[in-house]
Structure 1
Amino acid sequence: MAIVDLATKQSASYIRPTSWADGLRGIAALFVVASHTCLSFATYLIPPSFAETGKSILFQRPLFRLVIQGQAWVAIFLVLLGFVNALKPLQLARRGATADALAALSTGAFRRKWRLVFPAALMTILAWLLCQFGVFQLGRRVDAYWLRATSPQRSPSLGAAVVDLIRQIAGTWMYGENAYDHTSMGTATPFPWFTICIHDPASFDGTVGTNIFAGMILAELSFYNLTALRPRLIFKILPYGLVTLGLYICSYPDQYADQTAWSSQLASLAETFFPKDANVSRYYASLGAQMICLGVMLSPSLRRMLSHPMLLWFGSISFPLYLVHGPLMRSVLVYLLYLPMAIGFEPVLRADGTPDPESYISTPSPFRLGVILVMFFAFLLYVVQQWAKHIEPKMGALTAALERFSRSWGKNAVWTSKEKDEMLPVASVRELSR
Structure 2
Amino acid sequence: MTVVSFADSRKPAPSRVRNSSWADGLRGIASVFVVSSHVTLCFARYVVPPSFGETGQIALFQRPFFRLVGQGQAFVAIFFVLLGYVNSLKAVQLARAGAVTDALSSLASSAFRRTGRLVFPAAAVTVIAWFFCQLGAFQLALKTDAYWLRATSPRPSPSWPVAISDLVRQLISTWFYGDNAYDQPQWALLPLFKGSLYVFMTLLATVNSTPKFRLLAEAILYMWSWAIGDGLIGLNVFAGMIMAELSVPNPPEPRSFLARVLPYPFAVLGLYLCSFPDQYYEQVAWSRQLWQIGLVIFPQNVSMGRFFAGLGAQILCFSVLYSPSMRRALSNRYLLWLGGISFPLYLLHGPLMRSVMTYLLFGRAALTFQPATLEDGTPDPESLIPVPSFLTLWLLLPIFFTFLLVVVKWWSVRVEPYFGTATNQLENFARSWGKGGLSGSPMQNGSLLPTAVARKQAL
Read off the aligned partner of 2:181 and give its amino acid letter. Answer: A
Paired residue secondary structure (1:49): coil
Per-residue CA deviation, residues 88-121 of structure 1 (Å, 9 max, x unaligned), is: 1111111122121111111111111211211110
Work out the CA distance in 1 between the residues paired with 2:8 and 2:254: 38
- Change in Cα spacing, 1:81 to 1:433, as seen in structure 2 (3 Å) is farther
Work out the CA distance in 2 between the residues paired with 1:179 and 1:262: 36
> Are 2:253 and 2:322, in contact at CA under 8 Å, matched by a contact in 1?
no
Q: Aligned-pair distance for 1:237?
A: 2.8
Partner residue in 1 for 2:456:
none
* Selected match of 1:87 from 82, 86, 89: 89
Work out the CA distance in 2 between the residues paired with 1:50 and 1:364: 22
Structure 1 residue 376 corresponds to structure 2 residue 400:
yes
Paired residue secondary structure (2:294): helix
Paired residue secondary structure (2:353): helix
Partner residue in 2 for 1:18:
20
Work out the CA distance in 2 between the residues paired with 1:234 and 1:65: 30
Work out the CA distance in 2 between the residues paired with 1:50 and 1:18: 42
* Selected match of 2:343 from 314, 319, 326: 319
> Are 1:120 and 1:184, in contact at CA under 8 Å, matched by a contact in 2?
yes
Work out the CA distance in 1 between the residues paired with 2:308 and 2:406: 34
Q: Aligned-pair distance for 1:176?
A: 0.6
Query: 5 Å matches for 1:54-93?
Result: 54-93=56-95
TM-score, with structure 2 as normaliser: 0.87
> Are 1:78 and 1:208, in contact at CA under 8 Å, matched by a contact in 2?
yes
Work out the CA distance in 1 between the residues paired with 2:295 and 2:110: 39
Query: 5 Å matches for 1:42-191?
Result: 42-191=44-193
Work out the CA distance in 2 between the residues paired with 1:240 and 1:45: 26
Partner residue in 2 for 1:390:
414
Partner residue in 2 for 1:404:
428
Paired residue secondary structure (1:258): coil
Structure 1 residue 257 corresponds to structure 2 residue 281:
yes
Partner residue in 1 for 2:207:
none
Work out the CA distance in 1 between the residues paired with 2:405 and 2:285: 39
Q: Aligned-pair distance for 1:198?
A: 6.4
Structure 1 residue 215 corresponds to structure 2 residue 215:
no
Q: Aligned-pair distance for 1:166?
A: 0.8
Structure 1 residue 308 corresponds to structure 2 residue 322:
no
Q: How many residues align?
A: 423
- Change in Cα spacing, 1:428 to 1:228, as seen in structure 2 (3 Å) is closer
- Structure 2: which 5+ residue stretches go unaligned? 1-6, 203-220, 452-459
Percent identity over paired residues: 53
Work out the CA distance in 1 between the residues paired with 2:438 and 2:432: 14
Stretch of structure 1 that moved more, 52-61 or 328-337:
52-61
Q: Aligned-pair distance for 1:352?
A: 5.2
Query: 5 Å matches for 1:26-45?
Result: 26-45=28-47
- Change in Cα spacing, 1:433 to 1:274, as seen in structure 2 (3 Å) is farther
- Structure 1: which 5+ residue stretches go unaligned? 416-422
Work out the CA distance in 2 between the residues paired with 1:338 and 1:228: 52
Q: Aligned-pair distance for 1:368?
A: 1.4
Paired residue secondary structure (1:427): coil
Query: 5 Å matches for 1:254-293?
Result: 254-293=278-317
- Change in Cα spacing, 1:433 to 1:311, as seen in structure 2 (3 Å) is farther
Work out the CA distance in 2 between the residues paired with 1:328 and 1:129: 13
Q: Aligned-pair distance for 1:373?
A: 0.5
> Are 2:111 and 2:196, in contact at CA under 8 Å, matched by a contact in 1?
no
- Change in Cα spacing, 1:101 to 1:175, as seen in structure 2 (3 Å) is same
Q: Aligned-pair distance for 1:293?
A: 0.6
Work out the CA distance in 2 between the residues paired with 1:163 and 1:99: 45
Partner residue in 2 for 1:432:
449
Q: Aligned-pair distance for 1:11?
A: 4.0
* Selected match of 1:364 from 384, 388, 399: 388
> Are 1:197 and 1:209, in contact at CA under 8 Å, matched by a contact in 2?
no
Read off the aligned partner of 1:238 and give its amino acid letter. Answer: L
Read off the aligned partner of 2:129 and give its amino acid letter. Answer: A
Read off the aligned partner of 1:217 and give its amino acid letter. Answer: I
Q: Aligned-pair distance for 1:391?
A: 0.6
Work out the CA distance in 2 between the residues paired with 1:283 and 1:73: 13
Stretch of structure 1 that moved more, 255-264 or 154-163:
154-163
> Are 2:65 and 2:272, in contact at CA under 8 Å, matched by a contact in 1?
yes
Read off the aligned partner of 2:162 and give its amino acid letter. Answer: A
Paired residue secondary structure (1:248): helix
> Are 1:10 and 1:312, in contact at CA under 8 Å, matched by a contact in 2?
no
- Change in Cα spacing, 1:199 to 1:21, as seen in structure 2 (3 Å) is closer
Q: Aligned-pair distance for 1:265?
A: 0.5
Per-residue CA deviation, residues 208-258 of structure 1 (Å, 9 max, x unaligned), is: 22211111111001016674678x444223211221110000000011101
Partner residue in 1 for 2:454:
none
Per-residue CA deviation, residues 255-280 of structure 1 (Å, 9 max, x unaligned), is: 11011100000100111111110001
- Change in Cα spacing, 1:299 to 1:206, as seen in structure 2 (3 Å) is same
Paired residue secondary structure (1:10): coil
